Amino acid sequence: MNRVVVTGLGPVSSIGIGVSAFTDGLREGRSGISPIRSFDASGFPHRNAGEVPGFRPEALLDRIDVACWGRSAQFAAAAARLALADSGLDPAAVAPERAGVVVGTTSGESVVVEAVTAQQVESGFGGMDPDLLRQVPAGRLAHAVSTELDLAGESLTLATACSASNYAIGYAYDMLATGEAEVMFAGGADSVCRWAHAGFYRLGALTADACSPFDRDRSGILTGEGGAILMLETLDHARARGARVYAEVLGYGVNCDANHPVAPDRGSIAACMRAAHRNASVKPADVDYICAHGTGTPANDSVEAQAIFDVFGDRVPPVSSIKSMMGHTMGAASGFGAIAGTLAIAHGFLPPTINWANPDPALSGLDPVPNTARQARVRVVQNNGFAFGGNNAIVLIGAVE
């Protein structure tokens, strides 16, 4: 089995675009939350989200025609382009069929679906724009990356909702570990859209102004968006080309309890952690930091914390949630978590949970790294990703020995 390493990072987020800006955003505890601009939110009581206001795809993309692709595909392709540039890889040095892409998503191109639906309601099926209809399939997220980077290997979109990026990283890990590929681009992309905002509001899971994970008075999520892609390659391939290596993907675990449409399951999450540890050959005591799913809802944070206590006992590492800064970026969420965890290892710091004010007595013993980033020696990171339907996926990332 080949060892798999991270050599390129491509964050397109509300707290920064590109590695340098994203790292600064994490260190500063920057909030990327702002009033929604991508759709008319005036009818909603809650009108904030983690949009990416400075996103100019035409400035980042070289090959694909921006007008032919939806916003989520643009995020995926731009993030992959950034990851490639960050890696220093010459694409010509890799056979196209030995490089592939796996992208996770929740909503796919729901912004496009909403647009063509509005056309259909107003003018019937004949009024639907064929060019927009071509942008609808969620599979185009991975296809956009393959087209932008001229890849001919695996090209797959996974729709396992809010844990989808970790599923994608696990899939890419397997491709590389087994020798089916030499280079893989993995992560996720999603866009702020009306239906997700409305859906979470109707579920009672949407907060008004600030997401406060692990705080006693936490009241819900804020939706977010962006693209988070990591370039992974085999360690041998990276060393042969003299690449800078950020970290190693040690392994992953996935399970699906299908216990409830939306409620997380403590036992299943704990089992997923244990499976990830076994796959990565690490013990709970080896983990220095947990990048939490940490949505800021009362249910998720309580269940996630209790599962952590079940697995880690009285030795719980620091646990923070970057969703406090960016909102819930849906299918991209655990991709951003993987990037944050990789940067924590590479630069020796713990990203904070911002908007935290009141300790929750029920979560006593959990250190959320409140409000301010912390310098730390980080060797192993556990990156949690959980989704509706009981889709759990956890990735372990470590320093390269």
Residues 98 and 115: their CA atoms lie apart, in Å, by 37
Rounded distance, CA 166 to CA 146, Å? 19
Instruction: Give the active site residue among 162, 211, 272, 291.
Output: 162
Question: Rounded distance, CA 290 to CA 280, Å?
Answer: 15
Neighbours of 341 (CB within 10 A): 29
What span, in angstroms and rounded, lies between the C-alpha atoms of 164 and 385? Answer: 8
For 52-182, where are the alpha helices, taking DSSP H only?
57-60, 71-87, 110-123, 130-133, 140-149, 164-177
The two structure tokens encoding residue 136 = 């609808």
> Of the residues 143, 197, 237, 328, which is catalytic?
328
With vertex at residue 204, the alpha carbon angle to CA 359 and CA 369, rounded to the nearest 5 degrees, is 25
Q: Is 293 a catalytic site residue? A: yes
Active site residue 237: no
Exposure of 65 in the CB half-sphere (CA atoms within 13 A): 4
Q: Choose, from 46, 256, 293, 347, the residue flagged as catalytic.
A: 293
List, in order, residues 6 or more apart from 120 with CB less than 8 Å away: 127, 128
- Of the CA atoms within 13 Å of residue 267, those in its CB half-sphere come to 4
The tokens 């909603």 sit on which residue?
A: 44
Helices then strands, counting H and E runs in the chain, come out as 13, 15
Instruction: Decide if 328 is catalytic.
Output: yes
Residues noted as catalytic: 162, 293, 328
